[in-house]
Amino acid sequence: MVPLSWYIILSAVMFSIGVFGFLARRNLIIVFMSVELMLNSVNISLVAFSHYLQSMRGQILVFFVITVAAAEAAIGLAILIAFYRNNPTIKVDEINLLKG
């Protein structure tokens, strides 16, 4: 039986890796993957808490998170493609039309 704290630590580490990737990576696709990693780290902790507390709410929320993340991916990639058609780059540093 794996104790609850292990799951929570795993989730925290995954979330931190996601935050680091979001802030440090320069490729938009990898930045996007980092966001997905953050969402999935939350899913781990929700399921772990849900099992520990013997309550279904956490698992219900996980299903919602997965569904919304799918919608989010669809919209995010659509925006990315619309962007790429006008400016063929996916480097974060080159997206600097708006500044000031």
Partner 1 sequence: METANIITLAGVRLIIPELTMVCMGLILLLLDLVVKKKGVIAAVGIAGALVALYGTFKLFGIGGPQTAFANMFVLDGYANFFKLIFYLNIILTVCISLKYMAIEKASFGEYYALLFFSTAGMMIMASAADLIILYLGLELMALSTYILAGLMRKQPRSNEAALKYFFLGAFSSAFLLYGISLTYGLTGTTNLKEIASALQALNISGSPTVFIGLIFLIVAFGFKIALVPFHMWAPDVYEGAPTSITAFMSVGPKAAGFAVLGRVLFDAFGSMQVQWNSILVPLAVITMAAGSILALAQSNIKRMLAYSSIAHAGYMLLGVIAGTPGGLTSTVNYLMIYMLMNIGAFAVIIMLRREGFQGENLEDYMGLAKGHPLASALMLIFMFSLTGIPPTAGFIGKFYVFMEAINSGYTHLAIIAVLFSVVSAFFYLRVVMYMYMKDPKEDVVLTTSCSMNLALAFTAVMVLVIGIFPSLLLDIVRVSILG
**Residue of 13, 24, 53, 66 that binds partner 1 (CB under 8 A):** 53
Q: If DSSP codes are grouped into helix, strand and coil, which group holds residue 70?
A: helix
- Report d(CA 13, CA 8) in Å as an integer: 9
Among residues 36, 33, 27, 35, the alpha carbon closest in space to that of 84 is found at 27
Among residues 70, 76, 100, 73, the alpha carbon closest in space to that of 90 is found at 76
Contact flag: residue 79 with partner 1 (CB under 8 A): yes
Q: Under rule CB under 8 A, which residues in 3-42 are in contact with partner 1?
A: 8, 11, 15, 18, 22, 28, 31-32, 35, 38-39, 41-42
Which residue in the block uniquely carries the two structure tokens 């925006």? 79
Contact flag: residue 60 with partner 1 (CB under 8 A): yes
> CB of 41 within 8 A of CB of 49?
no
To partner 1, the closest distance from the beta carbon of 98 in angstroms equals 4
Contacting residues toward partner 1, per CB under 8 A: 8, 11, 15, 18, 22, 28, 31-32, 35, 38-39, 41-42, 45-46, 48-49, 52-53, 55-58, 60-61, 64-65, 68, 71-72, 75-76, 78-80, 82-83, 85-87, 95, 97-100
